[in-house]
Structure 1
Amino acid sequence: MRKKKKILMVHNFYQIGGGEHTVFKNEVELLRDNGHEVIEYTRSNDELKSDKWKLLFLPFTTVWSLRTYIEIRKLIKNEQIDVVHCHNTFPLISPSVYYAARSMKVPVVQTIHNFRLLCPNGSFYCKGKVCEKCRENGNFKEAIKNKCYRNSTLGTIIVAAMLTVNRKLGIYKKISYIFLTEFNKSKFDKLIDINSNQVFVKPNFVSRKGEPSKGAHKRVFIFASRLEENKGIKLLLELWKLLPKDYYLHIYGDGTLKNFVEENVKENISFYGFTPQKTIFEDLSTATALVFPSIWYEGFPMILAEAMAIGCPVVSTNIGNAGDILVNSKGGTTFEPDKPDTFINAIEDVLQNNEIYQKNALAYYSETLSKDKNYVLQNDIYEHLFGGG
């Protein structure tokens, strides 16, 4: 029987949690459940609160961290690591983890959760719209001009320096990648050879948060996301005015546009604010569809996968990864954000063909997003990186 690979999982936690953190923890648990020995190397941005020296030297350690280089080499040697798997390395771990792994002749793979290697703010979103200027130009002048990283010129310069230095050193072409969607992969064509046999596509997996839907309340739709402009909540509320009064919208979430949402609640729109997931998924299990009106590319929207896991169809904009997931899964339908008639058509379509979309969503979950299927994909990647040994 082939020996299970010993994996070093690497992740830099932000001060505010998010999807990347959840995926990291889920994958660590998945690997351990399947008999792998997993060593975790993690850092947290909370360190910057308590250590002023770390904050002072951050512009340099973001580009290259000697601490990371030394500690990763030591872990690989002492723990006899087979594969180094990175999730997030920004800002404390830095790309020096790649150099450390390569110096020890251990394969290293980076899961791409966002567009940070191409765009300093990681999102391809600037001034209220999708922007790929840094990708197209091959430099970060536009990002610095627009203060794209946290509206800070200095912060943007630091991120741009990290990316520029490590591009020139060629490290991004020497490691392997896991992309969550084909759409994500396609955006990296100017940085790496996306057709290389060291480039893989593997979505995140999800666990069911409730039983599969056995039916749907007609004309009840759910929005469950952050209340921010790029999530499309303003767009959704404007489009909802075009629908009949007996089309009901339930809004879950919190964010900077909370007051705006509260001001726009009407007889067919209910706002519940921040709500436990269990309650949201109980509502989703009998709703007509999840509505996902995001106006930026997203990474891998977990709420879409979680909805489809219980057979809830999705109505989404045709932008970026959400659109890509809907096209591949056939678990719902899409609309163009600047064409209101396509939104109305999408809503009507998901009403009329709800049972078909439910079946497609459940099939997509079983075939692509379940734990078992995902582990097979992940283990195959490790075996390939290790040379099939």
Structure 2
Amino acid sequence: MHVLVVHNRYSSAQPSGENRVVDEEVALLRAGGHRVGLFERRSDDIAARSLPGKAAVPLLVPWNPGARAELAARLRAERPDVVHVHNVFPLLSPAVIAACADAGVPVVATLHNYTQVCPPGTLHRDGRACTECVGSVAALPAVRHGCYRNSRLATVPLAVSLTVNRRRWWSGVDRFFCISATQRDILVRSGMPAERLVVKHNFVPDPGIRRTDAGEHLLFLGRLTEAKGVRLLMAAWDSLAADGGVGVPLVLAGAGPLESEVTAWAAGREDVRYAGLYDPEQVRQAVARSVAVVAPSMSQETFGLVVAEAMAAGVPAVGAAHGAFTELVEDGATGLLHRPGDAASLASCLRRITADPAGNREMGRTARHRYDQSFSPAVGLERLVEGYRSAIAGRSGGAQGAPPVGNTDTDPRGGTRAGGKRGQ
């Protein structure tokens, strides 16, 4: 199969799980014998633009005619079987969907967040869940609240793009990959076409290393932001420390707006270590040495790569009981779930996960089994190709050359039934 991947790469100044997913899927497809091309823009390139060029970037967010023309020409020249769209903000825009329509090429789009119904894509504002823009014709609440970068002006291009391009997305994309059933349910309730939304969880490469003992620390791995639950975790940890601790230290690895706060909080403590930003090898080692990985997010995550990474290493997770974590973490079997936003509940789970080494090891074994079944590269490749074939068959009306993928009726969890398997 010939696939053209379309993606606007996020800034390299901060680690991007989305960039990583794109890179790993491209490598997976190529290793599986498929031909994969890339049509990319890089947010890093904005810094090299002239002052007028930088000022023009917001105007490109709703519509970039240059990207449309360039992609349309490439599609006519290469004629891929399918286009796989990831992020289009800020330099590509939904004009890439029009380019695919111009060339008559089927389109699959992975929805890594909630930008189809929420301008910043988070469904989170001021420390709480927010769905004011979900289902609304225009995203005016987001502008009023300045939801993107706490700026009304910066939010306007995103709100305009969501409003004017909603129908273009919904009619121009043959298959949307939702990365959790929770995400799909929210998008269907918002009015997106249910028949085009299928669940395809992200896969995680096998780390090549697994936990072999009880572990030596609890690990938070991610962006240091309030939305990721960093302040909640610090409050829970302080309450545990005041009560004697849990016998292992807390390691926080990552970067973000709360870095100075985390650094000051961890300074001089033996029970906390701020490790800064890990490289991929350090991540693998740190996860495999964990008693558990902690994911106390305040917002409803669409997936949770860190939880799947923990599963791959045979490590349980402690996560907030909302969003995709309720799918990834089976409470009491592959980890523990705490009440979202509740420091006392999080502290209780951290105490429980460290207090029973035998039970913890059994959770780790169950987590690895779940990884093999649902998040391994083999499963990821199968579901990617299945989604592509379904999009091609739907566009061609089941013409020859597009192998059938079975019944695509919606299943109770929001995926599709294809050959008897759920598209999780």
TM-score, length basis structure 1: 0.90
1:291 aligns with 2:294: yes
> Aligned partners of 2:96, 2:162: CA distance in 1, in Å?
14
Secondary structure in 1 matching 2:212: coil
Aligned to 1:322: 325
Match for residue 272 of structure 1 among 270, 275, 280:
275
Q: Is the 8 A contact 2:233 2:346 kept in 1?
A: no
Aligned to 1:253: 254
User: Which structure 2 segments of 5+ residues have no match?
Assistant: 394-401, 404-424
Shift of the alpha carbon at 1:356?
Answer: 2.4
Q: Is the 8 A contact 1:261 1:271 kept in 2?
A: yes
Match for residue 373 of structure 2 among 353, 360, 367:
367
Secondary structure in 2 matching 1:223: strand
Secondary structure in 1 matching 2:187: coil
Amino acid at match of 1:382: Y
Aligned-pair identity (%): 28
Amino acid at match of 1:372: A
Shift of the alpha carbon at 1:85?
Answer: 0.5
Q: Is the 8 A contact 1:246 1:268 kept in 2?
A: no
Q: Is the 8 A contact 2:139 2:162 kept in 1?
A: no
User: Which structure 1 segments of 5+ residues have no match?
Assistant: none
Q: Is the 8 A contact 1:7 1:38 kept in 2?
A: yes
Q: Which moved more, 1:367-376 or 1:222-231?
A: 222-231
Distance verdict in 2 for CA 1:345–1:40, change over 3 Å: same
Match for residue 233 of structure 2 among 232, 236, 246:
236
Amino acid at match of 1:226: R
> Aligned partners of 1:152, 1:94: CA distance in 2, in Å?
20
Aligned to 1:36: 34
Amino acid at match of 1:162: S
Aligned to 2:123: 124
> Aligned partners of 2:382, 2:152: CA distance in 1, in Å?
44
Aligned to 2:114: 115
> Aligned partners of 1:91, 1:148: CA distance in 2, in Å?
16
Distance verdict in 2 for CA 1:329–1:24, change over 3 Å: farther
Match for residue 200 of structure 1 among 198, 208, 214:
198
Aligned 1:1-389 pairs, distance under 5 A: 5-16=1-12, 17-52=15-50, 53-167=52-166, 169-175=167-173, 176-189=175-188, 190-194=190-194, 196=195, 198-217=196-215, 220-243=217-240, 244-248=244-248, 249-265=250-266, 266-327=269-330, 330-351=333-354, 352=356, 353-387=359-393, 388-389=402-403
Secondary structure in 1 matching 2:340: coil
Distance verdict in 2 for CA 1:191–1:51, change over 3 Å: farther
Aligned to 2:408: none
Aligned to 2:418: none
Q: Deviations over 1:221-271 (max 9, x none)?
A: 112222221121211121123333243222222333233223333332233
Count of aligned pairs between the two proteins: 381
Shift of the alpha carbon at 1:312?
Answer: 0.7
> Aligned partners of 1:302, 1:339: CA distance in 2, in Å?
22
Distance verdict in 2 for CA 1:162–1:368, change over 3 Å: same
> Aligned partners of 1:216, 1:339: CA distance in 2, in Å?
27
Q: Which moved more, 1:152-161 or 1:80-89?
A: 152-161
Q: Which moved more, 1:341-350 or 1:365-374?
A: 341-350
Q: Is the 8 A contact 2:211 2:313 kept in 1?
A: yes
